[in-house]
Structure 1
Amino acid sequence: MTRRDRWRNALRLLLGTLAHLATARLTSVVGREGSYWVFGARFGSGFVDNARYLFEEAADRPGVRAVWLSADPETVETVRASGYEAYHSRSLRGRWLAVRAGTVVVTHSLRDVSLPLTGGAFVVNCWHGVPLKTVGFDAELGEEPWVVRRLHRRLADALDVVVSPSPLAVHSTATGLGVPRTCVHVLPYPRYEPLVGDPPRADATAERVAALAERGPLVWYLPTFRERGADLADRVDFAALDRLLAARGARLVVKPHPFESVTLPADLEHVTALDGVDDLSTMLPHVDVLVTDYSSVCVDYLLLDRPMVFYAPDLDAYREERGFYVDYESFVPGPLVTDDDALVDALARALDGDDPAAVHRRALREAFLTDTGDDPAATVFEAVDAARTGVR
């Protein structure tokens, strides 16, 4: 990012924060409509993650008007096609609902819905993954100029509820997002629903993954984000993995981060790239072995009690540059490998039924995750509704 871009972003943040504070002052006088709940996710770019599951729960509740707001027209159409109410966040109706809604639910920040127009609302940040690596004020925000940090601190003050599915991650969630520990509520992620309760949704992508799973063992490679535009093929020997998979009659699905890509050799027969997957929770039940690194998807996958392999070729550099909240080597519930040969060997063992981390994995789930119940979205809705009515 250039210096000019940084100044532009800082100015945009300043203006958005000032508008947010002005909206808070206005709505303290004219009030907000308690039955209106607006939802958004991933900076307004998709109908995804914890906000989606909580939205669908809220939409079924009597006396609640649940509305999805997005800056992406395609997302708005997707939500409407599913039978729900949705508007472009910059449309007149979208802006009006952002100002009127008593409750705002996001997964990243207020920009998921509208930073300027959500002042004075009861704000719920469901977040998008248990922080194993440092986030927010403990990571990139800590390096920003003082004025930028101060503006983000002011916006953190607007959060009323932050969801954490782990009692052991309350402190890291609070320090990373800049909120008091009392603001962090230990509740299951709504997106856990397909992992512990209802069967996964039968959309086209899920059906494609299910079809792959029917042909033999299915492995997923889900690495965390490194840098915008990075290609996963630069750090993984997919040809070697393809040979292993062919020998075991298995398939590998590679899912890059939305800001990264993967260029696979044309002659691979057992490795498939899958872009544009928004809802991992509907895919994970089809996966027999998960390969990841520092991604919190490993925490979600604990709920299925299946083998994992942790491929971290840049562990030392990543620890130095980013850092962790946990002791990574002792935390990971699976073999930890740092080169291609070791990855092939560990994956071969997993496909052959060798599961040395099974006891650790189950103990970690018991200690690290709160009880999910069989309807996580309902649990979160009821907790949020109780907190909302007790505060506003």
Structure 2
Amino acid sequence: MSLKLKLRQIAKMLLQNMLLPCIYFIFSRGKIEKGLVLFADAHHSNCPFSMRVMRHKVAKMKGVHVKEFYLDLKKCSKHELVRFILDFMIAYGRAEYVFICDTFLPVSSCRKRSGTFVTQLWHSGGLLKKAGYDSEDCVPSFYKGEVFGGYDLWTVSAPCVAPVIARSFRQRYDNVRSLGISRTDIYYSRKYNDLCRKKFFEAHPEAVGRKIVLWAPTFRGNAAEPYVVGGEDIEKVCADNGWYLIKKLHPHMQPDDGFPAERLFAVADILVTDYSSVVFDWLLYRKPFVFFAPDLDDFDTERGFYVDYHSFPTTVAQNAAELSDAIENELYHRSAAELEKCVRYHMGSCDGHSTDRIIAEIFGRKEEEI
């Protein structure tokens, strides 16, 4: 880990363990504001995809007042950061409900009052690479503080995921529930998928009639110093075979071009990824995929997996020659039954109704407590 990154982590520890708890103490002295619901994220400048379906439905509920707090900390000024933290903490101190979908220190830093219910709508499904406290890239071993603290509910994509999330992110086991991932509900909308296809082919008419390969790798390293491998190989393979390549890197590495990965699932014929959890959202379309991992041995040693990497219904390729054969094989020979079995195991609770179940769990529970 570089010195710059270590200094950033130290600054986060000071913020989490000293400043934020003091601010929360000041602004949590009054009464809870009934019906006040906060949506917050520190990785985007507007509502993240993972919370949009939930925000839309909650905002339509009676007796609810929604406030939203979004800021991309990588792109903001110090003044914007201070203003964001203060505004959120003032609202958090009296909020009844809070929704987040990623790490969010202003929530995890404070011993929150019992009248506030925090839901973590985690942004990925399934089980693949190690994360949370199981990964040095996610939470450095020297870090002091509860990075994922303060949650009352953490929603996951299938029963197999719940105990792993609870252990690796240090959650209470009964707080991690396989209610499904809210954002995946949109994939079951015919209107949404038709619109995705229409807009894409209007912008890329040269892709019409060709096999479309979506390359969506995860980043290596950590969020502050990310990189990918295999880019030149996949470009050559697609060019040699006449396939249309869409490169979609992690948001940490690629500016928004209007076509985020989730809008390309309806368009692409096959996904090529490595260790990215994007594969689990993709699985809901019941389309084939390829694991392309030139650095598999190193990645397995340095980070590791929760499940056998070779257990997925796909071909694992580690060089350009293997990749070409793998894509060809998966496009035309993969069993639909094998894909369906994988969907049920990793994404079995994502059936298009996850958001309604989560809402019933949160607001129904609160009504019972009252």
TM-score normalised to the size of structure 1?
0.79
Equivalent residue, structure 1, for 2:62: 62
Change (3 A) 1:259 1:104: same
CA distance in 1, matches of 2:359, 2:107: 21
Equivalent AA in structure 2 for residue 90 of structure 1: F
Instruction: Report the identity percentage.
Output: 22
Match of 1:348 among 306, 314, 328: 328
Change (3 A) 1:373 1:2: closer
Question: Post-superposition shift, 1:364?
Answer: 1.6
Equivalent residue, structure 2, for 1:240: 237
What SS is found at the alignment partner of 1:223? coil
Equivalent residue, structure 2, for 1:82: none
| Matching of residues 280-291 of structure 1 within 5 Å | 280-291=261-272
CA distance in 1, matches of 2:318, 2:51: 35
CA distance in 2, matches of 1:95, 1:162: 21
Equivalent AA in structure 2 for residue 296 of structure 1: S
Question: Post-superposition shift, 1:5?
Answer: 4.6
The alignment of Structure 1 onto Structure 2 pairs a total of residues equal to 356
| Matching of residues 186-335 of structure 1 within 5 Å | 186-197=178-189, 199-200=191-192, 207-208=199-200, 212=204, 214-227=208-221, 228-230=225-227, 232=229, 236-244=233-241, 246=242, 250-260=243-253, 275-276=256-257, 279-330=260-311, 332-335=312-315
Question: Post-superposition shift, 1:46?
Answer: 4.1
Query: Would the aligned equivalents of 1:162 and 1:183 in 2 still touch at CA under 8 Å?
Result: yes
Query: Would the aligned equivalents of 2:42 and 2:71 in 1 still touch at CA under 8 Å?
Result: no
Equivalent residue, structure 1, for 2:78: none
Change (3 A) 1:194 1:300: same
What SS is found at the alignment partner of 1:173? helix
CA distance in 1, matches of 2:308, 2:168: 17
Match of 1:370 among 330, 348, 352: 348
Query: Would the aligned equivalents of 1:256 and 1:275 in 2 still touch at CA under 8 Å?
Result: no
Change (3 A) 1:210 1:189: farther
Question: Post-superposition shift, 1:240?
Answer: 2.9
Change (3 A) 1:72 1:203: farther
CA offsets 1:207-231 (integer angstroms, 9 cap, x no match): 1257546443322111111133535
Query: Would the aligned equivalents of 2:157 and 2:180 in 1 still touch at CA under 8 Å?
Result: yes
Equivalent residue, structure 2, for 1:122: 117
CA distance in 1, matches of 2:129, 2:227: 19
Unmatched tracts of structure 2, length 5 or more: 76-81
What SS is found at the alignment partner of 2:15? helix
Matched, 1:51 2:51: yes
What SS is found at the alignment partner of 2:119? strand
Query: Would the aligned equivalents of 2:41 and 2:71 in 1 still touch at CA under 8 Å?
Result: no
Matched, 1:110 2:104: yes
Query: Would the aligned equivalents of 2:53 and 2:186 in 1 still touch at CA under 8 Å?
Result: no
CA distance in 2, matches of 1:350, 1:166: 25
What SS is found at the alignment partner of 1:168? coil
Moved more, 207-216 or 188-197: 207-216
Equivalent residue, structure 1, for 2:132: 136
**For the aligned residues, what is the CA RMSD?**
3.3
TM-score normalised to the size of structure 2?
0.83
Change (3 A) 1:25 1:391: farther
Equivalent AA in structure 2 for residue 339 of structure 1: N
Equivalent residue, structure 1, for 2:79: none
CA distance in 1, matches of 2:161, 2:7: 33
Equivalent AA in structure 1 for residue 309 of structure 2: Y
What SS is found at the alignment partner of 1:365? helix
Equivalent AA in structure 2 for residue 97 of structure 1: A
CA distance in 2, matches of 1:317, 1:277: 34
Query: Would the aligned equivalents of 1:19 and 1:116 in 2 still touch at CA under 8 Å?
Result: no
CA distance in 2, matches of 1:188, 1:307: 22
Change (3 A) 1:390 1:15: farther
Question: Post-superposition shift, 1:293?
Answer: 1.4
Unmatched tracts of structure 1, length 5 or more: 76-87, 262-273
Change (3 A) 1:45 1:316: farther
Equivalent AA in structure 2 for residue 144 of structure 1: S
What SS is found at the alignment partner of 1:33? coil
Question: Post-superposition shift, 1:349?
Answer: 3.1
CA distance in 2, matches of 1:378, 1:367: 21
CA offsets 1:259-295 (integer angstroms, 9 cap, x no match): 335xxxxxxxxxxxx8545753332122221111111
Equivalent residue, structure 2, for 1:160: 152
CA distance in 2, matches of 1:259, 1:65: 32
Moved more, 193-202 or 98-107: 193-202
CA distance in 1, matches of 2:363, 2:263: 26
